[in-house]
A and B are shown apart, each in its own frame.
Chain A
């Protein structure tokens, strides 16, 4: 099992569907997890249904939801990097790389998890993954931690094949569901509001496996 995991994602809630079970599993085995969340998702269009957030209140609401999600997963160390939602592809690349480089130097992670650049749909996702692999790619090959990437664009399997890391998280569905439900301004998944949702077969099939690509540096 991994000892020190660095997660770099741009939005509160990016962790919940794709990696929360994997993180809970690693944490149960003793891993230390740092989650560097680049923005507060303050330009999201979801405001709850019926709406309970607005453009003014959303950043603080999403920060609280993220903290609740981290607690549900067991993440020990949350870092808010303070960038602005929807702007990462336009950001000063040197600044992004510097911030990620500082985290790598401080934490010396044994695994880094981020989005697969170019195959993660949202421009912020792609820009975040690109910054991570750019920064790690500058290190000596022997100093590079493995990077596991999330990909879910429609074309991703045609371009990069099947994911090589499959994680069975069926034993950690309670933590995963609690992570999803933390983001109540963003999601409403009806099955998760039933009694004992982690025992629902549909939920188990939909959420029970998490999939990653090991990034191959040139």
Chain B
């Protein structure tokens, strides 16, 4: 994973628009959030291999980054993205990591299921 370069991500987002894609979208505080700090409220969710299609998409912010994808009848939104997998040419794999490197958020798009 490399720190996000937003021009590269925008090009990838554009190349994936107007087609059926599988998505993995996840947000998590980690299962030990409350264990480590009782003031923390643990929460997490993920959706994986839902089939989506967007017509407009962009990356925004100065890092951590936000991505918004506009679909015919809805939206996909992720905030806190910091890194992407530069080795994967087919899929767009993005994640947000905190200062200790733990994953907080993930947004992944692929023409094939994950």
Chain A residues engaging chain B, CB cutoff 8 angstroms: 43, 84, 86-87, 89-92, 123
Contacts and interface: CB of A to CB of B under 8 A. Distances in A.
- Best-surrounded residue of B57, B60, B61, B68 (most CB of chain A within 10 A): B68
Residue of A84, A86, A90 with most chain B CB atoms under a 10 A cut-off: A90
Contact of A89 (B57, B68, B69): B68
A89 B56 CA distance: 12
B91 interface: no
Nearest to B55: A92
B77 A92 contact: no
A92 B75 contact: no
Contacts of A86: 68, 77
B66 interface: yes
A190 B5 CA distance: 45
A43 B77 CA distance: 11
B110 interface: no
A89 B60 contact: yes
Given A84-B75, A89-B68, 4 more contacts: A87-B77, A90-B68, A91-B70, A123-B61
The DSSP consensus for interface residues of chain A is loop
A123 B66 contact: yes
B28 interface: no
A87 B68 contact: yes
Contacts of A123: 60-61, 66
Contacts of B60: 89-90, 123
B58 interface: yes
Interface of B: 56-58, 60-61, 66, 68-70, 75, 77
17 contacts: A43-B77, A86-B68, A87-B75, A87-B77, A89-B60, A89-B68, A90-B56, A90-B57, A90-B58, A90-B60, A90-B66, A90-B68, A90-B69, A90-B70, A90-B77, A91-B70, A123-B60
B57 to A, nearest CB: 7
A92 B69 CA distance: 11
Contacts of B68: 86-87, 89-90
Contacts of B57: 90
A193 B66 CA distance: 38
A43 B78 CA distance: 12
B44 to A, nearest CB: 15
B13 to A, nearest CB: 10
A81 to B, nearest CB: 15
Contacts of B58: 90
A159 to B, nearest CB: 15
A92 B70 contact: yes
Contacts of A84: 75
Nearest to B69: A90
Nearest 4 CB-CB pairs, A to B?
Answer: A90-B68, A89-B60, A87-B75, A90-B58
A25 B55 CA distance: 44
Contacts of B77: 43, 86-87, 90
